[in-house]
A = this chain, B = another copy of it.
Amino acid sequence: MPTAKKRAPWLRSLWNVLAFGLVGGAALVLLQLAEYRFLVLEHSVEIYVGLVAAGCAALGLWLGRTLTRRPARAPAPGAPAEPFEPDEARREALGITPRELEILGLIAGGLSNREIAERLCVSENTVKTHSSRLFDKLGARRRTQAVQLARASRLIA
């Protein structure tokens, strides 16, 4: 069930822009309302404008941070300093299926085919088939080589 969980980046950006517009509009309305209250203080316009400027700047700053933040780290506790997200594009370019990538990760973890089979609840033969195809796509002859090549391609950490 790997479906409908990840919105495209452009969609997220669009959402942010819309949110920005909405918040901005709301802020303007609030300002309009506030105006009638603050107008009694004649020469406080500068302060008023300054406050608005500061508020909007803060908003922009927050938005900037949000916009440029990397798309959420995996909740792994021992996450390394370098974030690293698997290169989905490269994976597809090599024609490697998600399942194969999964097996690749376990191979890199130092597990034997039997252990991988047990962990994934499939037969050892299945693991062999997957890894066989995997090596084919990676151009590797041994699992150690597959791991090395995959690392070089940033397919795995």
Contacts and interface: CB of A to CB of B under 8 A. Distances in A.
Nearest to A60: B60
| Band of interface residues on A | 35 or more
Interface of A is mostly: helix
Interface in A19-64: 20, 24, 27-28, 31-32, 35, 45-46, 49-50, 52-64
Copies of this polypeptide in the complex: 2
Contacts of A81: 82
Interface of A: 20, 24, 27-28, 31-32, 35, 45-46, 49-50, 52-65, 67-69, 81-82, 107-112, 140-149
Contact of A28 (B32, B49, B109): B49
